[in-house]
Amino acid sequence: GNSVTQMEGPVTLSEEAFLTINCTYTATGYPSLFWYVQYPGEGLQLLLKATKADDKGSNKGFEATYRKETTSFHLEKGSVQVSDSAVYFCALSDLNGGGADGLTFGKGTHLIIQP
Amino acid sequence: DTGVSQDPRHKITKRGQNVTFRCDPISEHNRLYWYRQTLGQGPEFLTYFQNEAQLEKSRLLSDRFSAERPKGSFSTLEIQRTEQGDSAMYLCASSAGAGGNQPQHFGDGTRLSIL
């Protein structure tokens, strides 16, 4: 079956530090990959996506590259801000693998940025 | 685009009672999804609709759970004879189509607490 594994948190960084949140996946087919973010007290928001190998998704200074050879989709940001404090979820959609259209999520990584 | 709307935001009920949640998707979206999220976990897929047709159910969706989308617009999720283990956040999402190029947009969820 499909699964997503992401690094456990909380991850605590100082403002302006470099961020990496690791995400690896297992899928039957050729999935699309997503990062969603959940700010305190808010719902899940799509942060970025990639639909094929070597695609780079980017948004709000965050980037992630779809690496088929390592089955990874690591999230990076060059200089984090306090406002980036949130829970980040890696997810996949494996429609082409014959699976349901529902997303498979990782457990989430709680990111805390200190001023 | 008013976003995905869920009602109520919070529901507290006694074990054994029935509860019903409502989801209003983004108006032009024909796909609607239900997920369940417990503390410290990522959302888990329950079921989804394309228009009024329920196309897939997860094995997580026991016989006590039923979902409907009678006119292809809003959807309801009913839980009968609630149990302690049903305590969770129930999330609804909608999309304009299938796959990675039509990402899912999430509501803020309904938090269910079973006393």
Query: What CA–CA distance (Å, rounded) separates B85 from B113?
Result: 9
pLDDT(B55) > 60: yes
Q: What does the alpha-carbon distance between residue A78 and residue A88 come to, in Å, rounded to a whole number?
A: 16
Mean pLDDT, range B72-80, rounded to an integer: 95
B109 touches chain A (CB under 8 A): yes
Percent of chain B exceeding pLDDT 70 equals 97
Contact A35, A75 (CB under 8 A): yes
Q: How far apart, in whole angstroms, are the C-alpha atoms of residue A86 and residue B111? A: 19
Q: How confident is the model at residue A95 (pLDDT cuts 50, 70, 90)?
A: low
- Over residues A49-85, the pLDDT tens digits come to 999 999 999 999 999 999 999 999 999 999 999 999 9
Q: Which of A68, A70, A74 is nearest to A90 (CA)?
A: A74
CB hemisphere CA count around A72 (13 angstroms): 11
**pLDDT digit string (tens) for A6-24?**
988 899 999 999 999 999 9
How far off is chain B from A27, nearest CA to CA, in Å?
Answer: 14
Q: Do B55 and A101 touch (CB under 8 A)?
A: yes
Asked if B29 has any chain A CB less than 8 Å from its own CB, the reply is no
Nearest chain B Cα distance for residue A33, angstroms: 7
What pLDDT digit, counting tens, does each position of B3-49 carry? 999 999 999 999 999 999 999 999 989 999 999 999 889 999 999 99
How many Å apart are CA A51 and CA A34, to the nearest integer?
9
Please give, rounded to a whole number of angstroms, the shortest distance from the CA of A105 to a CA of chain B.
Answer: 5
**Contact, A77 vs A19, CB < 8 A?**
yes
Q: Say what the pLDDT of residue B113 is.
A: 97
The answer for residues whose C-beta is within 8 angstroms of residue B85's C-beta and 6 or more apart is none
Q: Is B91 an interface residue toward A (CB < 8 Å)? A: yes
Q: How far apart are CA A40 and CA B3, in angstroms?
A: 18
How far is residue A51's CA from residue A70's CA, in Å, rounded to a whole number?
Answer: 16
**Strand (E) positions, chain A?**
3-6, 11-14, 19-21, 23-26, 32-38, 44-50, 56-59, 62-65, 75-77, 86-93, 104-105, 109-114
Radius of gyration (Cα) for chain B, nearest Å? Answer: 13
Q: Is A99 a residue whose pLDDT tops 60?
A: no
Q: Pick from B38, B47, B94, B106 the residue to mutate for testing the A interface (most A CBs within 10 Å).
A: B106
State yes or no: pLDDT of A109 exceeds 60: yes
Report the mean per-residue pLDDT for chain A. 92
